[in-house]
Amino acid sequence: MLDTSTIIEGTSFLNIEDEHYTISYKRLCPSAEGLQKKDVVFPTMWELFVWSAVLGYINKCPEPIKKRYTSPPFRWQVIKSNQQQILIIMAIESTESFEILKDRELLRKNIEEHSNGGLYLMHKSIALDPLAYRNMESLIFEVQERIKNK
């Protein structure tokens, strides 16, 4: 098993695009505005971050963060170990090199940019269907469609 605690420092904040915090994280995760865990597909912000990173890696669409949200909402350590491992493996695959493991900041930036790109893809889905990502069924449907279209 890959020990992710030494690859990216656990207390490192993960940066997200300011626009995504307002549009995606507050809309799709529990919030002070009244959304509860039972009302959303992503019960925690890190789960949305991981899902969008997976979309970014699968679609090979990293997107640089233009304007960071002023107060990053979570640290690397809150992401579960299995998901950290997946993100690191996808970063290695995207660069086609293990060299990325030698530079923590470059690795973190790679993951952040793929998550950012995935969030832009999610915005396109939501623009076409305002109910996209509103419930688990829509998420399952999207995964099924991706599998069928491979």
What are the tens digits of pLDDT across the range 103-112?
Answer: 999 999 999 9
In this structure, the number of other CB atoms found within 10 A of the CB of residue 140 comes to: 11
User: Are the beta carbons of 51 and 115 closer than 8 angstroms?
Assistant: no
Cα–Cα distance for residue pair 37/50, rounded to 1 Å: 17
Query: In 3D, which of 49, 46, 68, 47 has the Cα closest to residue 57?
Result: 49
The reported pLDDT for the residue numbered 135 is: 66
- Residue 40 pairs in a beta bridge with none
Q: How confident is the model at residue 28 (pLDDT cuts 50, 70, 90)?
A: confident
pLDDT tens for each residue of 42-80: 888 999 999 999 999 999 999 999 999 999 889 999 999
What's the Cα-to-Cα distance from 127 to each of 47, 109, 120, 122, 123, rounded to whole Å? 21, 27, 11, 9, 6
pTM value?
0.87
Q: Between the ranges 22-31, 91-100, 134-143, where is the mean pLDDT highest?
A: 91-100
The reported pLDDT for the residue numbered 131 is: 75
Q: How confident is the model at residue 24 (pLDDT cuts 50, 70, 90)?
A: confident
Give the contacts of 109 (CB within 8 A, at least 6 positions apart): none
Average pLDDT, rounded, for the chain = 87
